[in-house]
Amino acid sequence: MFKILSKTQLSAVVWEMVVEAPLLARHCRPGQFLIVRKDEVGERIPLTICDYDTEKGTVTIVFQPVGVSSEKFLELEEGDSFLDFVGPLGRPSDICDMSDEELRKKKFLFVCGGVGTAPVYPQVKWLHERGISADVIIGCRTKDLLFYEDKMREVAGHLYVTTDDGSYMHKGVVTTVIDELVAEGKEYNHCVCIGPMIMMKFCCLTTQKYGIPTIVSMNPIMVDGTGMCGACRLTVGDEVKFACVDGPEFDGFKINWAECMKRAAMYKTVEGEAKLRYQEGKTHEGGCGNC
């Protein structure tokens, strides 16, 4: 059992939990993820490792309740425990394999949107601890969905915040900020983009026209996290890869985005029906809720 030490609401829809997991904390590296299960009947949910403390033996996760299993996480409070907290899984970020000399040659740009802010933070923090500066763009639909702004300012070289509706800071999407920074003379030679699939796709289209190599972190449907089920497969260049063991980070210019987005939508109806059953309880009479 893995005890929840703290539970914090970060935004209107995003929550953070700090969990006691000494063994995981000793082996975590930026870019990796874990699989969490609330109880014996809970779904296995893959979540990015947002932060970790080897001395305290803690791992921090950030999640947005979207389906039944992740919504049930909200039932847990400080002092409660997860049944399963498995990891670290996946490959660490490619920056972890770079020498100090290589890192100093890089001009980093990190772009994140929505819950993607959580997995970007440990990478920028890791660089900051080694004296490497990185610019960060955080994008969200509206100010109420923004989180980790203060934490990111502590580790980023420059932080740019943009909201689709203009409710806070810059008005627009992350790609407009990239265009503006390049127009101002900013130079980058390594971009990492993490967020909704559509955002990562258009970020890659933007950075590609400027010749900025771009890494994306993929979060397709995942079951076991060990490469056995094949649910998280995606096409990268002319090869089939599995996000859980070959990733989750890949060259964004090589991703078959149309295929990925089609696969991501496969179970939306099933997920929606399950959520309605959970929310409506005994009053639920079936249907998708759209009629």
DSSP notation for 137-176: EEEESSGGG---HHHHHHH-SEEEEEETTSSSSEES-HHH
Residue 118 is given by DSSP the state H
Q: What is the pLDDT of residue 280?
A: 57
Phi then psi dihedrals of residue 170, to 5 deg:
-70, 145
Helix, strand, coil fractions of the chain, as percent rounded to 5? 35, 30, 35
Residue 103 is given by DSSP the state H
From residue 264, alpha-carbon distances to 171, 252, 260, 261 in Å are 28, 17, 6, 5
pLDDT tens digits in sequence order for the chain, 291 residues long: 899 999 999 999 999 999 999 999 999 999 999 999 998 888 888 998 999 999 999 999 999 988 878 888 999 999 999 999 999 999 999 999 999 999 999 999 999 998 999 999 999 999 999 999 999 999 999 999 999 999 999 999 999 999 999 999 999 999 999 999 999 999 999 999 999 999 999 999 999 999 999 999 998 888 778 888 888 889 999 899 999 899 899 999 999 999 988 888 776 655 555 555 555 565 555 555 555
Q: What is the pLDDT of residue 57?
A: 96
Of 93, 103, 152, the C-alpha closest to 125 is: 152
Q: What is the pLDDT of residue 166?
A: 92
**Residues 30 and 52: beta-carbon distance below 8 Å:** no
Query: Which helix (H) or strand (E) is 26 found in, with range?
Result: helix 22-27
Structural domains of the chain sorted by starting position, each given as residue range(s) with its CATH number in brackets: 2-89 (2.40.30.10), 94-217 (3.40.50.80)
Query: Which helix (H) or strand (E) is 277 found in, with range?
Result: helix 268-280
Q: What is the pLDDT of residue 154?
A: 96
Q: How many CA atoms lie within 13 A of 290 on its CB side?
A: 5
